[in-house]
Amino acid sequence: MNSFLKLSLILSLAFILPYACTQPTGNTSDSNTKMDQPISGDKIVYIDIDTLLNKYELYLDKKAALEEQSKAAEKSLSGKIEAFQRKMAKFQQEIANIQQNAASYAPVELKKLEEKYAQQQMNLAKEEESLMKQRDNAAMDLESKLQETQKDLQNKIDEYLEKVAETKGYDYVLMKGVGGSVMFGRKALDITQETLRELNEQYANSNKKDTQKQNTSDK
């Protein structure tokens, strides 16, 4: 019942970015120029998305937070599921004992036992349904936060690449790695490290501002 909480869901944060990671700048009005076919003279650079994500502090912190939430949800549900399974096993054993000794019960007594265990069975079915809903809700919550994290990461990277492309006159910023369009690129065209440095600096500054706001509000 708790397979949905496997960490593969969380580790899928190493996602294939859903954009081509191309950031054209300058004049794009020529409809005969295809974005996936850069013309001679275009200024092209690339980033290694695998390296970027593995060292991007925002990604690492978000990933750790989601993993902790996954473990907490799994622990909470596991305890409830184990308790339910023990209750179900006891119920089944009691039913088996009654069936084995049915001849020793009076008809009226058997009728009462039948009604009693029919009600217990209904209660167990409701409890199982409740556990299933809790499982599904926890899975949906994790999935929602995963999507939010992916969107946040994508926006942060997009915004930076658009800004740096505008500043440095890059026509295309391509992606190397999982889902990328670059098989090989000269190291001179690789802007991964400077991108990583800037993104981590932005994240650190954002954390400082949040801490300062929190300290101010606590006074």
Average pLDDT estimate for 189-205: 91
In a domain, 192, yes or no: yes
Average pLDDT estimate for 102-121: 91
In a domain, 59, yes or no: yes
**pTM for this one?**
0.66
In terms of Cβ atoms closer than 10 Å to its own Cβ (0-12, 13-18, 19+), residue 216 is exposed
In a domain, 34, yes or no: no
Average pLDDT estimate for 2-12: 45
* pLDDT score of 118 more than 90: yes
* pLDDT score of 42 more than 60: yes
pLDDT-derived band at 199 (thresholds 50, 70, 90) equals: very high
| 155-183 confidence digits (pLDDT tens) | 888 899 999 999 999 988 888 876 666 77
Number of domains observed in the structure of the chain:
1
Residue 117's pLDDT is what?
Answer: 92
In a domain, 216, yes or no: no
pLDDT-derived band at 150 (thresholds 50, 70, 90) equals: confident
In a domain, 217, yes or no: no
Residue 173 domain boundaries: 3-29+39-210
Average pLDDT estimate for 16-45: 49
In a domain, 19, yes or no: yes
